[in-house]
Amino acid sequence: MIEGTGCDLVRISRIDRYLDQLETRILSQADRRLAAGFSRKRRLEFAAGRFALKESLVKAFHGTRTAGSFLIETGESGQPVVVGERLRISCSVSHDGEYAMAWVVVES
């Protein structure tokens, strides 16, 4: 049964001057290590995608949770994985030009 859905769109350039703080706040330690090897452009895309995903999760949980309460890591195939949740969460992140978009479906 679907418990909630969420979607968010982020303009990547919007986070440029906040990149270091945003990475510290929203990325897991494993994802921070991964992103450290990226170019600045790719780090911006990655952080914007994770930010959009966390905002989508807040929406899918109808605002009963905060973005900081979710742990997202990168799966073996590069896909985002929400870790430590008892509900089934399907999610996807996409990038195109200046935008990063994420969607989430939460099922019981």
- If you write DSSP's letter for every residue of 34-80 in order, what string do you get? HHHTS-HHHHHHHHHHHHHHHHHHHHHTTTSS-GGG-EEEE-TTS-E
Per-residue pLDDT tens digits for 78-101? 999 999 999 999 999 999 999 999
Please confirm, yes or no, whether 41 is among the known catalytic residues.
no
Please confirm, yes or no, whether 59 is among the known catalytic residues.
yes
Question: Which position among 41, 54, 62, 95 bears the catalytic label?
Answer: 95
Q: Return the domain boundaries, the chain.
A: 2-107
Q: What percent of the chain has pLDDT over 70?
A: 100
One-letter amino acid at 41 equals: K
pTM (2 d.p.): 0.94
Over the Cα atoms of the chain, what is R_g? Answer: 13
Could you tell me which CATH number the domain at 2-107 has?
3.90.470.20
Question: Which position among 41, 54, 59, 62 bears the catalytic label?
Answer: 59
26 in helix, strand or coil? helix
When pLDDT is cut at 50, 70 and 90, the band that residue 71 belongs to is very high
Per-residue pLDDT tens digits for 19-61? 999 999 999 999 999 999 999 999 999 999 999 999 999 999 9
